[in-house]
Amino acid sequence: MSPALPAPAAREPGQAVPALVIAGALALRLWHLGARSLWTDEGSTWTAASSPLAALVRRCIERDASPPLYYLLTSLALKLGTSEAWLRSVSALASVGLVWLAYRLARLCAGRREAALAAALAALSPYQLMYAQEARTYTLVAFLAVAALYLFVRAVLLDRPRAWLPYAVVSALALYTQSIALLGVGVQAALVVLTAPGRRRLRPWLLAQLAIGLLYLPWLLVELRHAAHLGQSHWYIATPDGHGVFQVLRSVFLSPLSLVSPPPGSQVPGLGSWLPRPLAHGALALAVVVPLAAGLAGARGRGTRPLMLLAMAAGLFLPLAAVLAAAVRVPLWLPRYFVLLSPMLCVLLARGIGTLRPAALAGAWAALLLAVAAYGCLRYERDFTKEPWRAVTARIAAAAPAGRSAVLVPFDVDPFAYYVARQRAPVVAIEVSHPEVPFASHFTARQLDQLEAAARARTAGYDEVWVLVRSPNSPQRREVARRAERAASSGRVLVARERWDSYGGPLRLARFRRAGSAPAAR
């Protein structure tokens, strides 16, 4: 009689879930990736990424507050296609990477089931989805900064020597993407000082910072120059008031769009349609606060799991506190600077739900949070619109007389140039700006006269001149817009004004035509 075969080991629940969650995250981020028009800053990404290497680097030095890595990667994507989807593909893939990191971070302090829940919350986060479908640096720097934190935890807090080399390389890459990666370095410094394992490995961590600094040295001098002009490049950000603080916290912890009160014209009802608004706000807050508080409670005590939860808490709250404190002097308080916080939040939420008893309550709370996140994604899909540069460009192309029309665009010609370049017979696009004021923050009277004279001279030979202005949200920009219209009206009369609204802000269009010229469209 042959001996009985041993029974197969029981599989831990949720073992196959991470791959499905990541596949779902990828599908969600690719869905309608190119459906929305580029907005203004995405046009700047296209201009940089489609430039030769020397021009790309020069633009980052002179006109852009970001290092070149994101634009270099996007330039590779543009070799495969020039659509909006390809332009945003780096961000979409980086966001999927953040979902994977949420799982890996959760596995440091929880089982597979809770880690899969953390990944699912990250995958369905409307905050993550919004920036995954935007051709800007924020999702990539978030992925690299969170990856650096994960490797830091392994190298410093868990004493895994093999993590040191990838930690240094990934940290340097994060700095080459966006300077907000320094927020992650601040979190690491706090953990080194405040934890016993961190203090024991202070010296190797400092040596790693030296190596990172040497890797980053070629761009460090440029970054120091940018820091001297940080206020100019962020002139449009106000010192945060109560409403501004609430908007950022709502974006990070819940959704960048209100889930209670939909915008005008929305076909998706808000929660305020079913519940009194104060009650709806309170229910949403409790849905997050209860499991978050339970997750934070696990950071007390000794051992590996509390230490990992402490690292997650530091990674979530310290960047918020640091930027809020700095925003009193340097304007930085915007939702997009905190995309890196989502994985730590999802880990704490998943761990907190895992501690709820009975198990049925934990399951119901997990379903509630996933449902709220899915509803936020639906609201993003239906209600969020970017500045309609695509539609406005098509309108001008259809109506402007061929060869006799030019368009003046104060400051932000890049998205218009992107769509004009795809026209069969493109109109002439002229940026109204001044080379001495790269961030369009403050102009002298001489500079205003010069940019107006340049606009008038460059449009002198055209019968029809259009002026396309993104919402001029400062007195300086309103004056430049007025000067652009004055240049366009030289020898011409105003024949039409149009306004194109979006969630991202309006575009204003004015059309001037020389008396006696034929208005026939192409």
Could you read off the pLDDT of 74-106 as tens digits, one per residue?
A: 999 999 999 999 999 999 999 999 999 999 999
Contact 315, 344 (CB under 8 A): yes
Q: Residue 467: what residue type?
A: V
Who contacts 35 (Cβ-Cβ below 8 Å, separation ≥6)?
84
Q: Mean per-residue pLDDT for 477-498?
A: 94
Q: Where are the domains of the chain?
A: 138-228, 389-514
Give me the pLDDT at residue 34, please. 95
Q: Residue 96: what residue type?
A: V
Q: Which spans in 254-358 are helix H?
A: 277-297, 304-326, 342-355
- pLDDT higher than threshold 60 for residue 116: yes
- pLDDT higher than threshold 80 for residue 473: no
Q: Residue 387: what residue type?
A: E
With both helix axes pointing from N to C terminus, report the angle between 202-228 and 53-62 in degrees, rounded to the nearest 10.
80
Please, what is the average pLDDT of the chain?
A: 91
Q: Which spans in 339-495 are helix H?
A: 342-355, 359-383, 389-399, 414-420, 445-458, 475-488
Confidence bin at 288 (pLDDT 50/70/90)? very high
Instruction: Look at residue 264 and give its three-state secondary structure.
Output: coil
Q: How far is CA 463 from CA 247, 397, 459, 466, 519, in A?
A: 46, 15, 9, 10, 9
Which of 141, 54, 64, 65 minimizes the C-alpha distance to 98? Answer: 141
Q: Mean per-residue pLDDT for 504-521?
A: 81
483 exposure class (CB count in 10 Å sphere: 0-12, 13-18, 19+): buried
Contact 389, 396 (CB under 8 A): no
The order of strands in the sheet holding 428-432 is 428-432, 405-410, 464-470, 507-514, 492-500
Confidence bin at 63 (pLDDT 50/70/90)? confident
